[in-house]
Amino acid sequence: MRTDAHGRRAVLSKVKTGELDVEEATRLLLAGTEPAPAPAPRDRVLAWLAGLVAEEARVPVEQIVPEERLDRHGFDSVMALNLVRALERDLGKLPATLLFEYQTPATLADYLLDRHGEALGRRFGATSTTGAGPVGGGAPLPEPTTVAAPEGPQEHSDHVAIVGLSCRFPLADDLDEFWANLAAGRDCITEVPASRWDVARHFDPVPGKPGKTYSRWGGFIRDVDAFDNAFFSISPREAERMDPQERLFLQEVWHALEDAGLSRSHLSGAAVGVYVGVMYSQYQLYQAEQALYGNPLYLGSSYASIANRVSHYFDFRGPSLALDSMCSSSLTALHLAADALRRGAITAAVVGGVNLTIHPAKHADLSQGRFASTDGRCRSFGAGGDGYVPGEGIGVAVLKPLSAAIADGDRVHAVILASAIGHGGRTSGYSVPNPAEQTRLIRAALRDAGVDPADVGYVEAHGTGTALGDPIEVRALAQALGARASGTPACAIGSVKSNIGHLEAAAGIAGLVKTVLQMRHRTLAPTLHADPPNPHLDLDAAGLRVPRSVEDWTPPESGLRTAGLSSFGAGGANAHVVVREFRPAPAPALAPGPQLILLSAQTPERLRTVAAGLAAEADAHTGGGAASWLASAAYTLRVGREALDHRLALVTADTADLGRRLRAFAGAGAAGDLVVGTADGSTRPAEGDQTRVADLLARRALAELGELWVRGAAIDWSTLDSPRPPKTTLPGYPFLRERHWPRLAGPPDAAVFPRTSSHPLLHRNESTFHRQRFVTSFDGASPLVRDHEVNGRALLPAAAVVEMVLAAGRRSGLAGSLRLQDTVLEAPIEVPPDARCEIAVELVQAEPGISFTVSDPDGRSVYARGRLAAGASPAPDRIDVEALAATCGPPLDAETCYRTLAGNGLRYGRALRVLDDVRLGQGRVLARFRLPEQSGTAPYEVHPALLDGAFQALVGFRVDGPGPARVPFVIDEVATTGTEPPGTGWIQVTARAAGGQADVFDLAVADDSGRVAIRVSGLAVRPAATKPPATPATTPWCCGRSGDPPRCPTLEQPLWTAGPCSSSTAPTWATRSAEPGPGPASWRCGRATVGSGQTVTVTGSTPPIPASTTACWRTWRRRRIRRWASSTPGRTRRRARTPR
Q: Domain check: are 406 and 538 in the same one?
A: yes
Judged on CB neighbours under 10 Å (0-12, 13-18, 19+), 255 is buried
Please state whether the peptide bond connecting residue 532 to the residue before it is cis, i.e. omega within 30 degrees of 0: yes
Which CATH number covers residue 662? 3.30.70.3290
Give percent above pLDDT 70 in the chain.
79
Which CATH number covers residue 967? 3.10.129.120
Q: Is the CB of residue 415 less than 8 Å from the CB of residue 582?
A: yes
> Which pLDDT belongs to residue 157?
52
> Which pLDDT belongs to residue 751?
35
The verdict on residue 1030 lying in a domain is no
The verdict on residue 497 lying in a domain is yes
The residue among 755 and 581 whose pLDDT is bigger is 581
Q: Domain check: are 309 and 360 in the same one?
A: yes
The verdict on residue 793 lying in a domain is yes
Per the annotation, the verdict on 787 as an active-site residue is no
Question: Which of 991, 944, 964 lies closest to 901 in space, CA to CA?
Answer: 964
Q: Domain check: are 205 and 280 in the same one?
A: yes
> Which pLDDT belongs to residue 27?
56
d(C-alpha 731, C-alpha 852), whole Å: 45
Per the annotation, the verdict on 948 as an active-site residue is yes
DSSP H/E element including 25: helix 22-30
Encode pLDDT of 584-598 as tens digits: 988 777 778 999 999
> Which pLDDT belongs to residue 259?
98
The verdict on residue 748 lying in a domain is no
Encode pLDDT of 485-539 as tens digits: 888 899 999 999 999 999 999 999 999 999 999 999 999 999 999 999 998 888 9
DSSP H/E element including 165: strand 160-168
Mean pLDDT of 596-619: 95
Q: How would you classify the pairing of strands 788-790 and 793-794?
A: antiparallel
The confidence band for 877, taking pLDDT boundaries of 50, 70 and 90, is confident
Encode pLDDT of 717-742 as tens digits: 988 988 889 999 999 999 999 989 98
Catalytic, out of 187, 410, 779, 948? 948
Q: Domain check: are 684 and 574 in the same one?
A: no
Q: Domain check: are 858 and 964 in the same one?
A: no
Q: Domain check: are 459 and 542 in the same one?
A: yes
Single out the residue in 523, 545, 580 at which a domain terminates.
580
Q: Domain check: are 769 and 704 in the same one?
A: no
* CB-side neighbour CA atoms (13 Å) of 1057: 19
The verdict on residue 98 lying in a domain is yes
DSSP state of 928: E
Total number of domains in the chain: 6
The verdict on residue 276 lying in a domain is yes
Encode pLDDT of 726-784 as tens digits: 999 999 999 999 989 988 775 433 333 333 446 889 988 888 767 789 999 888 878 89
The confidence band for 1078, taking pLDDT boundaries of 50, 70 and 90, is very low
The confidence band for 199, taking pLDDT boundaries of 50, 70 and 90, is confident
Mean pLDDT of 871-883: 83
The verdict on residue 737 lying in a domain is no
Single out the residue in 659, 691, 719 at which a domain terminates.
719
DSSP H/E element including 419: strand 414-423
Is the pLDDT at 238 greater than 80? The verdict is yes
Q: Is the CB of residue 480 less than 8 Å from the CB of residue 439?
A: yes
Encode pLDDT of 296-354 as tens digits: 888 988 999 999 999 999 999 999 999 999 999 999 999 999 999 999 999 999 999 99
Mean pLDDT of 942-969: 84
> Which pLDDT belongs to residue 925?
94
Strand boundaries in 846-983, DSSP class E:
850-855, 862-871, 892-893, 906-908, 915-920, 924-930, 966-976
Is the pLDDT at 416 greater than 60? The verdict is yes
CB neighbour list of residue 1079: distance below 8 Å, 6 or more residues apart: 1091, 1092
CB neighbour list of residue 997: distance below 8 Å, 6 or more residues apart: 957, 1126
Average pLDDT, the chain: 81
Is the pLDDT at 1069 greater than 50? The verdict is no
CB neighbour list of residue 466: distance below 8 Å, 6 or more residues apart: 385, 386, 387, 388
CB neighbour list of residue 1136: distance below 8 Å, 6 or more residues apart: 1097, 1098, 1099
> Which pLDDT belongs to residue 139?
30
Catalytic, out of 159, 502, 788, 943? 788
Q: Is the CB of residue 168 less than 8 Å from the CB of residue 248?
A: yes
Q: Domain check: are 448 and 564 in the same one?
A: yes
Q: Domain check: are 422 and 500 in the same one?
A: yes
Q: Domain check: are 862 and 934 in the same one?
A: no
Q: Is the CB of residue 463 less than 8 Å from the CB of residue 470?
A: yes
Single out the residue in 968, 993, 1023 at which a domain terminates.
1023
Give percent above pLDDT 90 in the chain.
54
Is the pLDDT at 476 greater than 60? The verdict is yes
Q: Domain check: are 552 and 652 in the same one?
A: no
Is the pLDDT at 669 greater than 60? The verdict is yes
Which CATH number covers residue 345? 3.40.47.10
> Which pLDDT belongs to residue 393?
98
d(C-alpha 759, C-alpha 619), whole Å: 45
> Which pLDDT belongs to residue 96?
67
Q: Domain check: are 294 and 434 in the same one?
A: yes
Mean pLDDT of 413-429: 92
Which CATH number covers residue 72? 1.10.1200.10
The verdict on residue 12 lying in a domain is no
DSSP state of 757: S
d(C-alpha 510, C-alpha 397), whole Å: 10
Q: What is the 3-state secondary structure (H, E, C) of 765-827?
A: ECCCCCCEEEEEEECCCCHHHHCEEECCEEECCHHHHHHHHHHHHHHCCCCCEEEEEEEEECC
Considering all CA atoms of the chain, what is the largest pairwise distance in Å, rounded to the nearest integer? 125
The confidence band for 1057, taking pLDDT boundaries of 50, 70 and 90, is very low
Q: How many helices (H) and strands (E) does the chain have?
A: 33, 43
The confidence band for 702, taking pLDDT boundaries of 50, 70 and 90, is very high
Among 102-116, 252-266, 905-919, 1074-1088, the minimum mean pLDDT is found in: 1074-1088
Domain residues for 641? 595-719
Please state whether the peptide bond connecting residue 939 to the residue before it is cis, i.e. omega within 30 degrees of 0: yes
Is the pLDDT at 668 greater than 60? The verdict is yes
Calculate the CA dihedral of residues 960, 965, 969, 974 and round it to 10 degrees: 60
